[in-house]
Amino acid sequence: MEEEEKDQEDYQKDLEKKSNEVKGVQKYSDILSRVIHEGEELFKINNKAMFLSAIIAGLEIGFSYLLVCSVYYLLGGSLDEQVVLKLFSVVYPVGFILVILGKSALYTEQTSVLALPVLNGQRSIWELFKVWSLVILGNIIGGMFFAYFIGNLAPKMHLFTHETMVKVGTHVLNYDWWVLLLSAITAGWLMGLLTWLLNSTINSLTRVLLIFMITGVIGFGGFHHSIVGNVEVFGAFLYTDAISISDYLWFLFLTLSGNGIGGAVVVGLFKYRIFESHYSDEKIKEER
């Protein structure tokens, strides 16, 4: 009798173990399915709506720039410059919170999301480049407009000066090209990871904390985010002859490329292949 009860207990434990394994697989596949579904829905948005949403994102991300310049202006004379640069991480996430929770079209947030339907065979690479082009153009235009707008308003409201804008933009540019590229890849990697993590939860507070944590790391490390960087460098370009139009365009090329590699390849490709491989292996085990 005792042996039968023990066998029954072992059987139940075995069932629970298998159930937990299946739940784990479902959890992985659910995240992947949600990200792919989100990407597919983005492809369905018409071009005009996507472009306007991208312009709005470029404007909204400018609030990170506004706060960064304000912190530099207020603390630049009283604290060591390196300390001030690290403090950027406290205010840097604000624009991202506005953009991501507001569902505006931000290039670096959508990089890995849009790449996954392509990897899954649902969309072509040309469709991907078309949407990316619309979003990038809109983000850049929005950012340029914000830099011009705040450049006229901020000095009159004593938030910061044109000199502050030049210093911030010059600091962002003051790297070798390969450093800019690798830094942008890191920022794109982090943004792609953020998108993946956001699809694992629906809790609003958790989502805000994730955005703050990941973009705070970007701000603390000084990694190059192409869309925020666009505002920073264009803002400096407006008020100094030391930055040429070719410097600005070269910066955009390197950071947009780096962010794309980091988001689409490092996160989109690796995450997709890892999860796909894991799920396939588990299905083979179940069939046996």
Instruction: Please give the residue range of the domain that contains residue 88.
Output: 27-283
Q: Is residue 152 part of a domain?
A: yes
Q: Is residue 22 part of a domain?
A: no
Q: Is residue 10 part of a domain?
A: no
**Per-residue confidence at 262, pLDDT binned at 50, 70, 90?**
very high
Find the CATH number of the domain harbouring 134: 1.20.1080.10
Domain count, the chain: 1
- pTM given for the model: 0.86
CB 31 within 8 A of CB 275: yes
Q: Is residue 190 part of a domain?
A: yes
What pLDDT digit, counting tens, does each position of 72-123 carry? 999 988 899 999 999 999 999 999 999 999 999 999 988 888 988 888 888 9
Angle, CA of 47, 192 and 273, to the nearest 5°: 100
Angle, CA of 27, 30 and 35, to the nearest 5°: 135
Residue with tokens 């292949």: 273
Residue with tokens 């609030």: 63
Q: pLDDT at position 25, please?
A: 40
Q: Is residue 4 part of a domain?
A: no
**Per-residue confidence at 271, pLDDT binned at 50, 70, 90?**
confident
Classify each residue of 240-277 as buried b or exposed e, where b means 16 or more C-beta atoms within 10 Å of its C-beta.
Answer: beebeeeebeebbebbbbbbbbbbbbbbbbebbeebee
Question: What average pLDDT score do residues 223-252 get?
Answer: 97
Q: Is residue 1 part of a domain?
A: no
Q: Is residue 165 part of a domain?
A: yes
Q: Is residue 15 part of a domain?
A: no
SS3 category, 230: helix
**Per-residue confidence at 21, pLDDT binned at 50, 70, 90?**
very low
Judged by average pLDDT, the poorest of 33-37, 124-128, 136-140, 173-177 is 33-37
| The two structure tokens encoding residue 82 | 């390196």
Q: pLDDT at position 36, please?
A: 84
Question: What average pLDDT score do residues 25-47 get?
Answer: 79
CA nearest neighbour of 234 among 176, 164, 174, 147 = 147
Mean pLDDT of all residues in the chain? 88
